[in-house]
Structure 1
Amino acid sequence: MIPEPGTPVTPRGFARFYLPLVATSYLLTATNPLLAAALARTSDPATALAGYGVAFALIGVIYAPLLVVQQVAAQRLLSVGDLTPVRRFTIVVALLLSGVAGLVAFTPLGVFIFERIVGVHDAILDEALSAMTALWLVPALTGVRALHQGRLVAGHRTKPIAVATGARTGVLAVVAFGLTTTPVGAWLGAVAFTAGLAAEALLVSLAPAPTPVVPEVTELETEGEDRLLSFSGPLMLNVVLWWTTPLIINSVLARTPEPDCSIAAFTVVEAVAWFLAAPVGQLQHASLALVDCKAQHRRVRVYALGLAVTVTAVLGVLAIPDIREFILWTGFRLDPSLLEPAGLAFPVAALYPLLYGHRQYYQGLFVRAGCTGLVGRGAVLRVVVILAAAPLLLGTMGENGARLGVTLAVVGLFSEAVFLEVMARLRAFSLLEAKKPATAAESA
C-alpha cells in the first residue's frame, strides 16, 4: 500500500520500507567478497584478482548509464504514472552498451583500453580480457533489472527486490565456487557475476507492483524521450563517473612499485568495506520515495543519519588490527604480501558508510526535487579532486597501494559530500518547501 502524500514518516514506516532494501544491499554487496574469496582460491590469486578487478571496473563504466534507470523509472511513476518512454529508452541504451562491451571483449579495442589507457600488461591483461568475454552481456541485464526495480520502488514493493537479489547472490556463489576446481582465473568471477545478474533480472521483471496515483499533469510533464534525456543525463554522468572511479584508482595503482599486489589488495579491501557499508547503500530510495517536503526531509534525515553513524561505528570496530586480520585471513586466505597492505587500508575505509550514506541520501533528494544537474556536478567535483590528489599521494603512499586507493576514494567522497550539503541548503530545500502547499491543496 502506498501512503498518501504528506503522511508523516514514522520510524516503523521507515523500517518497513527500508529494511528490505538493507537486505538487498547486503546481498548485492556480498557478491564482491564472495567473488574475491573464490578468486583467492585459484592457482594464481593475485593475477586473477587484479585481472577481474580491472575488467569489472571497466564493465562498470560501460553499464553505469543504465543504473539511473532505477531512479528515473521511480520518479516518472511517482510524478506522471507512465513508464513507456523510460522502457523504450532503456531498451535502446541497453542494447547499445552491450554492443560496446562486446567490442571490448572480442576486438583489439580491449587490448588498447586495458594496455594503453588502464596500464596493465602481460598476465593481468590476459585475465582482464578473458573476464570481458563473459561480462559483455551485463549492460543489457542491468537495464532490465534497473527498470523493474524502479517500478517496484515506486510501488513501495521492496521485498521482491530483496528476494531477487538473494537469488542472484545464491546463483553467483554456486557458480563461482563450483568453478574453483577448474584452471580458470578472472573468467570465473565474470561468469558467476553474469549468471547471478541474469537470475535477478528475471525475477524482478516478473514481480507485480501497483502504479502510484498521481495528480493531473501538464503536457510538458508527459513529454517523452527528449525531456527524459535532459532529466536523466546528469544522473548518467553521475553513475558513469562513480564507476569510473575504481578504474581511475586502479590506473594509479598500476603505476606503484608493485602493481599486481596493490590492485589485488585494494580489490579485497573494497569488497569487504562496501559489503559492511551495505545498509546505507539504498538511502537514495528512501529520500526519493519518502521525502515530499522539507518536514519529511527532517524526519527521514534523522533515521538515515542514525543508520550511517551506526554502520560507521561498526566498521571502525572491525578495523581494529586483530579483528581485521582475522576477517581478511579467514575469509580470503590472503598471502602475507597482500594481508599487510590490505589491513593497513582498512581503517581508512571505515569512513565509507558515513560519506557514502550522505551522498546517497542527498542524491535521492535532488532527484525528487528535480535538481539532477547538481548530482552530476557533485560527481564531476569528486573525480576532479581524486585526479588532483593522485599525483600528490602517489609519491608518499605508493609503497602501500591499497591504502593509497582507499584514501583517494575517501578524499573524493568528502569533497562531494560538502558540495551536496551546500547545494541542498541553497537549492533543493526551497524546491521541496514549494511542494508543501501543493500537497496540502491536493489533500483538501
Structure 2
Amino acid sequence: MKDFANSQQADKSLTFAEILRFYLPLATAAVIMIGSVNVVNSALSKTPNPQAALAAFAIAFSYAEMVSAPCFSGMNMMITLGRDRKYFINTFKFMIKVTAVAMCFIGVLAFTPVGKFVALNIGGASLNLYKDITTVWRFSLILPFVYLIISTSRSVLLTEQKTIYVTIARGLRLVVMLTLAAFLPLLKGLSGAAIGVLIMLAGMGTEGLVALVPAAILFKKWHTEPNDVPEKNYPATQAAVLKFITPLMVTSLMWGISRPLLYAGLARLNLGELSIATYKVANNFTWLFMVLVQDNVKHITVAFLRNNPNHKKHIIKFSAIASLAVTALILVSVFTPIGEYLLTNVIGVDKSMAVACTAPILVFAFYPILLTLEEHYQARLLLKGETKPIGFAKVLNIVAIGITVFTIAAIYPNMGAVTGSIALSVGMLVEALIVRHYAVKFRA
C-alpha cells in the first residue's frame, strides 16, 4: 500500500509545464530544421530549370540519406540506456564503423556504374538528370560523418535534458543556409542540384559542430563506469551493441528507403518529374507542422518514462493533444489562404504548384496522429529493450508503401503527387498498429 501511494505521488510530480520545458526547445528546433529544407527548395526555385533541379536533388539526396540513416541509430541507443563514458565510447566506436561503411556505399554510387543503374532503373530518373545526381552523390560523401557528429552530440544533450542547445545549433544552421541560399544561385558553373546539396551540407555541418561544444562539456561530467546499470543486458561489448542496435539500424535504413521507393513509384506516373517535385514541396510544407511531433514524442516518452513508468498517462495525454493540434493546423492551412501564402511566399513556389499541392497536403493532415501513435509505442519498446519488433514494423511499413505506390501508379497513372502521401500514410498506419501490438504483448 505504501508503494502504491509513493507511485501515485511520483505520478503527480510530473507537470504539464515540465513536459513543455523539455518539449518546446525540441519543437522549435524541429521547425527550424524543416524550414532549412524549404530554404533549399526556395534556392532551387530560382535556378534556370527549377523542376529538374528539385527532381535531381530529391532523388540523389534521398539515396544519400538512406545510406547514411543508420548513423543516427546510436542516438536511440544512447538516450534509452546508460549515461557513463564507458557505455558511450563503446557505442561511439561501433557507430564509427557504421559511418565508414555508409561512406563507402555512397562512394560506389558516386564513382561507379552502379550509380547510373540505381538512378535510372531504380530511381526512375531521366538520363538528362544523371549528371546532376552524380554531383550530389559526390558532395554527399561526407554526409554519414555529419550525421554521426549530429547524432552523437544530440544524444548527450537529450540525455541531460539540455534541449535548448539543440535549438541554438539548429538556429545557426538556418542562418548559414539562408546566407548560402542568397548568393549561391548567382554563381555561374553550379547546377541547381549542386547548389541544393552544398546548402544542405553546410547547414548540417554547422549544426553538428555547434552542438558538439556543450555536449563535450556535459560529457566530461559523466561517470567513467556505470553507477546505475539497467535491469536489461548492459551493452558493454561490441557484440552486445550489435545485437541491440541492429534492429534500430534496420529501422533507419528502411525509413531511408521510403523516399527513393516513393520517388521510383511517382516517376512511373504520367508527368513523373512534376509529380516528384509536387510531392516534395507538399511533403516539406506539411512537415513544417508535423515536425512538432516527429521524434519529439519518442524523446519525451523516453525522457520521462525512463526513470518513472507512472508518468505514462501524462505522456499519452500530452502526445495526443500535440498530434491533434498539428492535424488541426494542417487542415486550417488547406481550407484557408494561409496554405497558399506559405507555399508561395515562404517556400517560394508559383501559384500553379501551390494549387497542385492541395490534395497531397490534405491527405497528410491525418499523418501526425499515426506518427504519434507509432513513436510513443516505439519508445516504450526501446525502454523495454525490445528492438526486434521495431525493425520488423519498419520493414512492413516500407512493404506497404511500395505496394501502395506502385499499385496506384499502375492502375491510376494520372493520380499525381497525392499517390505519395497516400502510400506514406498507409505505411505508417501498418507500422503504428504493429508496434502497439508488441508493446502490449511485452507489457512495455
Alignment correspondent of 2:293? 280
Alignment correspondent of 2:248? 235
Alignment correspondent of 1:120? 125
Residues 397 and 331 of structure 1, relative CA distance in 2, 3 Å threshold: farther
Which of the numbers 250, 261, 272 marks the counterpart of 2:263?
250
Distance of 2:270 and 2:44 partners within structure 1: 23
Alignment correspondent of 2:394? 379
Which of the numbers 197, 207, 210 marks the counterpart of 1:200?
207
Residue 116 of structure 1 aligns to a residue whose secondary structure is helix
Distance of 1:216 and 1:392 partners within structure 2: 49
Distance of 1:226 and 1:387 partners within structure 2: 33
Which of the numbers 185, 188, 194 marks the counterpart of 2:195?
188
Q: CA deviation at 1:342?
A: 1.7
Structure 1: which amino acid aligns with 2:290? A
Listed one character per residue, the Cα deviations across residues 299-345 of structure 1 (whole Å, up to 9, x for unaligned) are: 11111111111111111111116433332223344356533322221
For the 8 Å contact 2:39–2:347, the answer to whether it is kept is no
Residues 294-309 of structure 1: pairs in structure 2 closer than 5 A:
294-309=309-324
Distance of 1:52 and 1:236 partners within structure 2: 24
Alignment correspondent of 2:430? 415
Residues 245 and 217 of structure 1, relative CA distance in 2, 3 Å threshold: closer
Q: CA deviation at 1:81?
A: 6.8
Alignment correspondent of 2:222? 211
For the 8 Å contact 2:340–2:351, the answer to whether it is kept is no
Residues 13 and 40 of structure 1, relative CA distance in 2, 3 Å threshold: same
Determine if the alignment matches structure 1 residue 401 to structure 2 residue 406: no
Alignment correspondent of 1:41? 46
For the 8 Å contact 2:42–2:349, the answer to whether it is kept is no
Distance of 1:188 and 1:219 partners within structure 2: 47
Alignment correspondent of 1:323? 338
Alignment correspondent of 2:326? 311
Residues 159 and 214 of structure 1, relative CA distance in 2, 3 Å threshold: farther
Structure 1: which amino acid aligns with 2:209? L
Listed one character per residue, the Cα deviations across residues 228-248 of structure 1 (whole Å, up to 9, x for unaligned) are: 111111111111111111110
For the 8 Å contact 2:32–2:174, the answer to whether it is kept is yes
Structure 1: which amino acid aligns with 2:276? I
TM-score w.r.t. the length of structure 1 is 0.90
Distance of 2:231 and 2:85 partners within structure 1: 9
Listed one character per residue, the Cα deviations across residues 38-94 of structure 1 (whole Å, up to 9, x for unaligned) are: 111111000000011101210111111011111112223249972111111122211
Structure 1: which amino acid aligns with 2:332? V
Q: CA deviation at 1:214?
A: 4.4
Q: CA deviation at 1:216?
A: 4.7
Listed one character per residue, the Cα deviations across residues 222-263 of structure 1 (whole Å, up to 9, x for unaligned) are: 521111111111111111111111110100011111111011
Alignment correspondent of 1:221? 234
For the 8 Å contact 1:134–1:190, the answer to whether it is kept is yes
Alignment correspondent of 1:289? 303
Determine if the alignment matches structure 1 residue 389 to structure 2 residue 404: yes
Q: CA deviation at 1:412?
A: 0.8
Determine if the alignment matches structure 1 residue 334 to structure 2 residue 349: yes
Which of the numbers 172, 175, 200 marks the counterpart of 1:170?
175
Residue 136 of structure 1 aligns to a residue whose secondary structure is helix
Residues 123 and 80 of structure 1, relative CA distance in 2, 3 Å threshold: same
Q: CA deviation at 1:6?
A: 5.7
Residue 106 of structure 2 aligns to a residue whose secondary structure is helix
Structure 2: which amino acid aligns with 1:341? A
Q: CA deviation at 1:96?
A: 2.2
Residue 315 of structure 2 aligns to a residue whose secondary structure is helix
Alignment correspondent of 1:354? 369
Q: Which moved more, 1:397-406 or 1:227-236?
A: 397-406
Q: CA deviation at 1:16?
A: 1.1
Q: CA deviation at 1:126?
A: 2.3
Distance of 2:346 and 2:230 partners within structure 1: 53
Q: Which moved more, 1:65-74 or 1:314-323?
A: 314-323
Residue 82 of structure 1 aligns to a residue whose secondary structure is helix
Residue 357 of structure 2 aligns to a residue whose secondary structure is helix
For the 8 Å contact 2:74–2:95, the answer to whether it is kept is yes
Which of the numbers 68, 77, 89 marks the counterpart of 2:82?
77
Listed one character per residue, the Cα deviations across residues 126-172 of structure 1 (whole Å, up to 9, x for unaligned) are: 22222222222110110111012111111111111111111112212
Determine if the alignment matches structure 1 residue 87 to structure 2 residue 83: no
For the 8 Å contact 1:39–1:186, the answer to whether it is kept is yes
Q: Which moved more, 1:313-322 or 1:149-158?
A: 313-322
RMSD: 2.3
